[in-house]
A and B are shown apart, each in its own frame.
Chain A
Amino acid sequence: MSKKLYEIISRVMKIDISSISDELGPKTIENWTSFNGYVLLNELETGFNVKFTIDEVIDVKNIIDIKRHLTNKGIKLDE
């Protein structure tokens, strides 16, 4: 499932899958504008068939936050 997550991040943020790491966020990814941040969450919702709450959306500051929220929703990312 990690692969799928990385593919979505890579597509939306236009960065190589290999360069994605947990601490990356709006400050380190050029295309992570506020609008693109919403696009990313929207496409993760569609891709993983989940829904982020308003608090989760506010909370996301980097990729590890996304992983945490997805894991809390029962998505297994370590496979």
Chain B
Amino acid sequence: MPEENSLSDYINKSNEITKMFDKKIRIALLSSFTINGLSDVLKVKSNERNISCVVYEAPYNQYSQEILNKKSDLYKFLPDLTFLILDTRNIFGEIFRSPYSISHLERAKIVENKINEIEKLLDKYIENSNSKIVVTKLNIPSFSPNGIFESKTEYGFYDMIEDFNKQLTKNYLDSENIFVYDFDKFITKNGEDNVFNYSQFFFGDLKISMNFLPSLGQDLMKYVIGYLGITKKCIVLDLDNTLWGGIVGEDGFNGIKLGPEAPGNAFMEFQRVLLSLHQRGIILAINSKNNFEDAIKVIKEHPYMILKEEHFAAMRINWNDKVSNMKEIIKEINIGSDSLVFIDDDPVNREFVKSIFPEILVVNLLNDPSSYVREIENIIDFSVLKITDEDRNRGKMYLKQKKIIELEKTSTNLQTFLSQLDLKIIIKNVNEFTLPRVSQLILKTNQFNLTTKRYQETDIKKMIQDSNFIVTCVQVQDKFGDNGITGVFIIKKEKKKEWRIDTFLMSCRIMGRDIEKGIMAHIINKAKENNIEKINAEFIPTQKNKPVQNFLADHKFKKNGQFWTYVVKSEIKIPEYLSVEAK
């Protein structure tokens, strides 16, 4: 049994939801079988993450009709995210039980037809709706009438399903609206005998048993997290009994448990899984009560240490309390506390951090290092709908950041520091290559964000094609290298002589370097070039965008009701320590 609440718990809790949140999502569920209760699971799980979730459940096995009929309730519901949950029995009908009543060529033909049908449906849906859709791969049952001869069979039953899955995945590899959920991995994790309960199948056409619907809901929440961009970005780690066994201050460099034998291998494996996350863009940091010299010696010199100093964006190894250290880490990395995961073997530290920062995901490690890896594997909060080059290089970026902080410490004043950085701002129109990153910034940036308008990739695409909008991204380079695309601004050409700044945001990574002054000067100069007389802008305050609350006033915008207005007269000088290049 999964570590989950029962389905009736979710049904009951879902009926008691009254709280509304700023974050909202509308989910449509389409399925070829009974999935009653799944909507309750999604609502409750969303609610636990401070998301208001409304769900539309299409009538039983009516997904084709709902998609094909433009006037259906599905379209009226205006979903943000749609799950199309298919199953092998339903797709293949009679052939599911008699795949060998026909020839291998006929089997291949059936797969071709079925994949065409599904593709047509998906394309139709994307054409007629603004929703993203997640379609499930088909499960490969463990039983085949050919038994062990199955793998010797030309285009056999398993090949049919695998081929269907492969084509489905391949066709939508680059799609930003269609996602393929690996339902087969869900079965691998939970087991076919558990997930598929014949009794429930016969009685209610349930193809996912009631005990496992909550686990499926948990898995599908990954898409909700990815869609809303509420992904965790950084793991803050304790050291003793977390990254290695024992206490280095007491057991000594040679006494800690870290190496190829149990239990040291459990810690090595734990570090390996953390490294794999780091390689795809999750930031790591240390928050440890320790003698700095003892701990750093292990990190730098221990032969079995997988994670090295270069993998940590910030390290707080001292005798201060964990909350003070956490505050400093947040400041140093310049990250929202709600993007953090905290891993510490000590329940007291965990409770303390949780009490001050309820928004931090605090992992409840069991007192057994062999369970650590699974604990990490089960975290769904790292889910993203897209991984960009910026993500993959994030580790290097933070290393660079550390060097910049060192330079800042040795510089006598901000101006000297900034002029030593050789800052270069490259401003360019958004194209298909930069679109994924721009969309990611729009969905995720909280702090330096004037309006916090969240646009999906398709919305941005429409704006790019619309001549009334200027959709621009900002790349920042300095003497330590390229920061990549770290800023976005969107201008709406409101009237003949008036522009409005719809979106203006910058990644926290480049805050504090006057980049925004360069960008704003560029906008004003461009406006001047285009004979624009007024630039309107809006500041929409959120809990997190304090860094921009004075931004408009600082740039000589005058408050004018809800909006702020800048009267364009002459060109503006760009600060001399910035070089701005428009492409």
Hey, which bits of chain A sit against chain B, CB under 8 A? Answer: 11-12, 14, 34-36, 38-40, 42-43, 46, 52, 54, 57
Contact = CB atoms under 8 A, between A and B. Distances in A.
Given A11-B9, A46-B211, A38 B203 contact: yes
Contact of B8 (A43, A52, A54, A57): A43
A78 to B, nearest CB: 25
Interface in B1-31: 1, 6-9, 11-12
A36 B204 CA distance: 11
B319 to A, nearest CB: 48
A54 B201 CA distance: 11
3 smallest beta-carbon distances between A and B, as pairs? A12-B8, A42-B210, A35-B36
A8 to B, nearest CB: 8
Given A11-B12, A14-B12, A43 B199 contact: no
Given A14-B12, A57-B203, 17 more contacts: A11-B9, A12-B8, A34-B204, A35-B34, A35-B36, A35-B37, A38-B200, A38-B206, A39-B7, A39-B8, A43-B7, A43-B8, A46-B1, A46-B6, A52-B199, A54-B199, A54-B203
A40 B203 CA distance: 13
Contacts of A11: 8-9, 12
Contacts of A39: 7-8, 11, 37, 210
A39 B197 CA distance: 13
A57 B200 CA distance: 10
A46 B211 CA distance: 9
Contacts of B199: 52, 54, 57
Contact of A43 (B6, B34, B36, B206): B6
Nearest to B210: A42
A2 B193 CA distance: 30
Contacts of B34: 35
Interface of B: 1, 6-9, 11-12, 34, 36-37, 199-200, 202-204, 206, 209-211
Contacts of A14: 12
A28 to B, nearest CB: 19
A39 B38 CA distance: 13
Nearest to B36: A35
Contacts of B6: 43, 46
16 contacts: A11-B8, A34-B204, A35-B34, A35-B36, A35-B37, A35-B204, A38-B200, A38-B204, A39-B7, A39-B8, A40-B8, A42-B7, A42-B210, A43-B7, A43-B8, A54-B202
B213 to A, nearest CB: 10
A34 B206 CA distance: 13
A42 B1 contact: no
B501 to A, nearest CB: 52
A29 to B, nearest CB: 13
Nearest to A11: B8
B230 to A, nearest CB: 31
B259 to A, nearest CB: 42
Which of B7, B12, B202, B206 lies at the interface centre, i.e. has the most chain A CB atoms within 10 A of its CB? Answer: B7
Contacts of B8: 11-12, 39-40, 43
Contacts of A54: 199, 202-203
Contacts of A57: 199, 203
Nearest to A31: B11
B74 to A, nearest CB: 21
Report which residue of A11, A35, A36, A40 has the largest number of chain B beta carbons within 10 angstroms of its beta carbon.
A35
Contacts of B204: 34-35, 38
Nearest to B34: A35
Nearest to B15: A14
A34 B36 CA distance: 11
A33 to B, nearest CB: 9
Contacts of B202: 54
A66 to B, nearest CB: 15
A73 B518 CA distance: 78
A35 B11 CA distance: 12
A42 B9 CA distance: 13
B29 to A, nearest CB: 15
B40 to A, nearest CB: 11
A57 B199 CA distance: 9
A14 B11 CA distance: 10
A34 B204 CA distance: 9
Contacts of B12: 11, 14
A52 B433 CA distance: 57
